[in-house]
Amino acid sequence: MEDQENRIGHYNEILGQSAPQDVLAFFCREFQGKVAFSSSLGAEDQVLTWMIANETLPVRVFTLDTGRLFPETYDLLDITIKKYGVPIEVMFPDAKRVQDMVNEKGINLFYESIENRKLCCHIRKVEPMTRALDGMKVWITGVRRDQASTRTGMQLADWDANYGILKINPLINWSEQEVWDFIKQNHIPYNTLHDKGFPSIGCLPCTRAILPGEDLRAGRWWWEHPDTRECGLHTDQEK
């Protein structure tokens, strides 16, 4: 455990201020063939997809299809694959588990309680993510520190105890403005819902547009307290 903490501390020390492209290239060299990137097709992830494609980096790219996504998200997936020629593997939840959950608790169970919502997220997101990361050594994400109160303490490199994997957040220090400046400069396709007040986009029934002055992730699970608004993919809690 101490060696692991020392290694992560070393990565943060030598790469903490590095450009995201350099961070990606570094871990691709260090962990050849064992680097995976989970894309939600959000603005940050579109930036990382561009970087991976532009540098022809050996990264396995995948996305999670929960079965409840916006049509605009599916359109963007198709556009992105065709534009960059990067294979994006689509991971689905276990059909039997989804079926049993819905039949037992209802189609919109997530509105009834935090426990129900987290169960839905676990079956539709966390379990497919676990399968996708199996055998990988590095997990690349588009997490930024200023996205939400639940993410302020995250670092460039960290150990994710849920998945037993080294988690790398190349855009951790970027601002929202830097993300959008990069998208515009490089003509990167993005979800059209971003132009309609959706800075963070997840499943359709659990995402709304935000109001002026609201937190960037206020539209995710908006009926809950801000401290609970994570699906389980980016927390260190037990699954």
Residue 237 scores a pLDDT above 50: no
Could you tell me if residue 229 is inside a domain? no
Work out the number of other CB atoms within 10 angstroms of the CB of residue 191.
22
pTM score, whole prediction = 0.89
The 10s digit of each residue's pLDDT in 98-147 is 999 999 999 999 999 999 999 999 999 999 999 999 999 999 999 998 87
Could you tell me if residue 134 is inside a domain? yes
Could you tell me if residue 64 is inside a domain? yes
Could you tell me if residue 230 is inside a domain? no
Q: Looking at 28, 120, 203, 231, which residue is catalytic?
A: 231
E strand intervals along the chain: 35-38, 60-64, 88-91, 138-140, 157-160, 165-168
d(CA 23, CA 170): 6
Could you tell me if residue 214 is inside a domain? no
Give 80's Cβ-side CA count (13 Å radius).
32
Residue 235 scores a pLDDT above 60: no
DSSP 53: H
231: annotated active-site residue: yes
Q: pLDDT tier at 154 (50, 70, 90 boundaries)? A: confident
Could you tell me if residue 102 is inside a domain? yes
The 10s digit of each residue's pLDDT in 188-222 is 999 999 999 999 999 999 999 999 988 888 899 98
CATH of the domain at 40: 3.40.50.620
- Cα–Cα distance list, 100 to 72, 126, 138 (Å): 28, 17, 33
Could you tell me if residue 213 is inside a domain? no
Could you tell me if residue 170 is inside a domain? yes
pLDDT value, residue 215: 84
Domain that holds residue 65: 2-198
The number of folded domains in the chain is 1
